[in-house]
Chains A and B, each alone.
Chain A
C-alpha cells in the first residue's frame, strides 16, 4: 500500500507528536526587552531559534533562555561563544544566565543566524549554532542546560536586557 501525505498537511501520531518540522510565528523584534515562545509541546526534541536583522538599542550580549512550568530559568547554563572571524578571533564570552548567541554588539549593528537546542535526555538540553553580527563578526555558539522540568518555553533576550529595535525572530520545533 502506498500512502501519500499532502505537503500542506501534518501527521500526528498517538503520542501527540507532529511528524515533521513545525514553525512558530515569526515576530518583529522591534520592541520589548525579550521575546518568549510559549506553549511548546512536551514531545519536542529539537528547537531552532532563528534571527534575521535583529538589533537592540545597546551593546549587551544576546541570550537564549529555556523555561518550564516554573518559568524561565536564568541560572545554571554552561555556555560560551567565540568569534571566529574579525580582528578579535578567539575572543570567548561565557554565561551561566543563558546560551550566549552573540556578544560585542552595537546599537547600529544587526544580528543573524540560528541556534539549535536539542534534548539530550532527562531535561538536559544542548545548544549549538553559528551566528553573525555586523558589528562584531561570526560566532560559534555552544552550551548545555539542565531544566528542572519539561521544557515549555524559550526566551530571547539580552544581558541588561536591552530593547529590541529591528529584525525578525522565529523558532522551528520538531
Chain B
C-alpha cells in the first residue's frame, strides 16, 4: 500500500499513514493516467520531424 509521512511539529513525532482503499484506487488511476500520457508523448516525439529541410531543385535549362 502507498503511504504518506506525517510530522507533528509540536511533538517531533514522525508517523507513516497508509492510504485507505479508496485513496489507493485514486492513486493507482492517477499513476496509470500519467504513464499513458508519457507513452503518448514519447510516441508523438518519435513521429514528429525535428527539422524540415527543403532543397530547391536545379532549374531546368
CB neighbours (8 Å) of B3 from chain A are 31-33
Is A27 an interface residue when CB atoms closer than 8 A count as contact? Answer: yes
CB-contacts of A10-39 with B (<8 A): 22, 24-25, 27, 29, 31-39
A-B contact count (CB 8 A): 59
Is B11 an interface residue when CB atoms closer than 8 A count as contact? Answer: yes
On whether A173 and B5 interact (CB within 8 A), knowing A25-B14, A58-B34, A60-B34, the answer reads no
Is A160 an interface residue when CB atoms closer than 8 A count as contact? Answer: yes
Contact of B9 among A31, A32, A39, A60 (CB under 8 A): A39
On whether A37 and B9 interact (CB within 8 A), knowing A25-B14, A27-B14, A160-B30, the answer reads yes
Check A38–B7 contact: CB distance below 8 A: yes
CB neighbours (8 Å) of B5 from chain A are 27, 29, 31-32, 34-36
Binding site for A on B (CB under 8 A): 2-12, 14, 16, 27, 30-31, 34, 38
Binding site for B on A (CB under 8 A): 22, 24-25, 27, 29, 31-41, 58-60, 160-161, 163, 171, 173
